[in-house]
């Protein structure tokens, strides 16, 4: 499958087909999620109305980790098979990780002030998320200098894979250490989820809104990158022909 979609034409064709559906899902889920989050879901018996911050904070945290995992997978594919489109997917996913991690940190701080009495503590979950934010900023700075230079592209890929070590730390930090951050309420595998459907529904709606927005933006950015690369190759070919002539 990696080799099939390494062809830019095939990948762009797939992205063009997916983008309209992703846009529709994004709009529907965002509107439904905001309605459920702000008006339909109940206030928490301990946190009160501040719990509504969770519907922005938690899906953003999920997305930042998921997209960085996508970046790491694409970087691995680039290192093994040298597929340029894998590098493009990784590089053009980085701004989404930065935005989602920023939303996570800001909303977490705003939630922490009335809940913990402070905007920031060097909690294991908060600190590891901050490290993710710093890593993706460093990746973006290096990636800006990597266009057309395979050595720097490989450096970006290695940096991304190194940063992926932080993902399980973020995930399991509340279980490995005694932290202020509450443990996960949603268990996808074994164990029982400790969250009511009235709160789970807006969480999932906002998550799919974020996910669809990421797909829309990524497809547009990758296609734009491919078009620019194609134009640049054509300009170089024309320049060589003029030089020879």
**If you average pLDDT over residues 94-108, what whole number do you get?**
97
pLDDT beyond 90 at 244: no
Per-residue pLDDT for 143 more than 80?
Answer: yes
Q: Give the predicted TM-score (pTM) of the model.
A: 0.91
CA angle 127, 33, 45 (to 5 degrees): 65
Q: What is the pLDDT of residue 3?
A: 63
* Residue 139 pLDDT exceeds 80: yes
- What is the pLDDT at residue 243? 81
From residue 177, give the alpha-carbon distance in Å to each of 19, 75, 114, 134, 181.
Answer: 41, 30, 23, 22, 10
Kindly give the residue spans of alpha helices, DSSP state H, lying in the chain.
Answer: 2-5, 8-35, 54-81, 84-116, 124-143, 150-163, 166-176, 197-244
Q: Which residue has the higher pLDDT, 16 or 150?
A: 16
pLDDT for 69-87, tens place per residue?
Answer: 999 999 999 999 988 889 9
């Amino acid at each position: 499958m990696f080799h099939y979609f390494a062809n830019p034409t095939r990948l762009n064709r797939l992205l063009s087909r997916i983008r309209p559906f992703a846009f529709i899902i994004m709009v529907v889920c965002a509107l439904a999620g905001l309605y459920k989050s702000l008006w339909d879901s109940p206030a928490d018996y301990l946190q009160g109305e501040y719990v509504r911050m969770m519907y922005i904070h938690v899906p953003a945290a999920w997305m930042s980790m998921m997209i960085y995992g996508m970046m790491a997978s694409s970087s691995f594919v680039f290192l093994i098979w040298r597929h340029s489109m894998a590098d493009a997917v990784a590089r053009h996913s980085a701004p989404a990780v930065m935005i989602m991690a920023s939303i996570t940190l800001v909303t977490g701080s705003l939630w922490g002030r009335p809940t913990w009495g402070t905007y920031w503590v060097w909690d294991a979950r908060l600190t590891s998320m901050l490290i993710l934010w710093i890593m993706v900023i460093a990746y973006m700075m290096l990636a800006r200098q990597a266009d057309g230079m395979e050595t720097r592209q490989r450096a970006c890929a290695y940096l991304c894979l190194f940063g992926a070590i932080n993902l399980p730390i973020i995930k399991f930090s509340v279980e490995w250490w005694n932290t202020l951050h509450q443990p996960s309420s949603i268990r996808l595998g074994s164990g029982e989820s400790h969250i009511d459907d009235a709160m789970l529904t807006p969480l999932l709606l906002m998550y799919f809104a974020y996910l669809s927005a990421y797909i829309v933006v990524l497809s547009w950015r990758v296609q734009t990158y491919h078009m620019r690369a194609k134009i640049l190759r054509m300009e170089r070919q024309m320049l060589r022909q003029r030089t020879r002539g």
